[in-house]
Amino acid sequence: MKTLRSFITAGGLVSAAMLTPGQTPTASARVAIDAGNQAWIDGIKAGDMKRIATTYTEDAVDCGRTGECIRGRFQIQRHMTAQLESFGRARSAAVKTWGSTEQGSFVYEWGEAEATFSGGKRLVERYLTAWQERPDGTWKIFRNMVIPDK
């Protein structure tokens, strides 16, 4: 039931991002989010899931393409580490932001992340991420959802 609630919450984020008019993210937010996306690229290529996990809030929720959701930075890191063990390090990786909007202390960003691994396996996922501005002024992933394929 927790997974379903988390997925519904993530669905609410989609609605909020798409139905509520927002503004273009501030320059400082955009720089921080781009750095977070680069941490994913560098982390997946280096096999360093801790580098990726540090971009998440402590209470983050990360939902995969089938609706399974993982709560908490440590659990997200453990899940990513297990996935990496089956894929190996990425030979190449990229994140393409398709759009973003800022609402209060959140930036909703959507796009596509892709990675190619040594065994020829290729991962391509469309995503919606809610980045939250923290009290110290940093931006961290509060909610992340892979948008399922048709």
What is the reported pLDDT for 86?
Answer: 86
148, amino acid identity: P
Better pLDDT: 19 or 25: 25
50, amino acid identity: K
- Asked if 22 and 102 touch (Cβ cutoff 8 Å), the reply is yes
- Which spans in the chain are helix H? 2-19, 27-46, 49-53, 73-87
68-95 mean pLDDT: 94
Q: Does the pLDDT at position 3 exceed 80? A: no
What is the reported pLDDT for 150?
Answer: 67
What is the reported pLDDT for 8?
Answer: 46
140-149 mean pLDDT: 94
94-123 mean pLDDT: 94
- Asked if 17 and 110 touch (Cβ cutoff 8 Å), the reply is yes
Q: Which two tokens stand for residue 91?
A: 């030979």
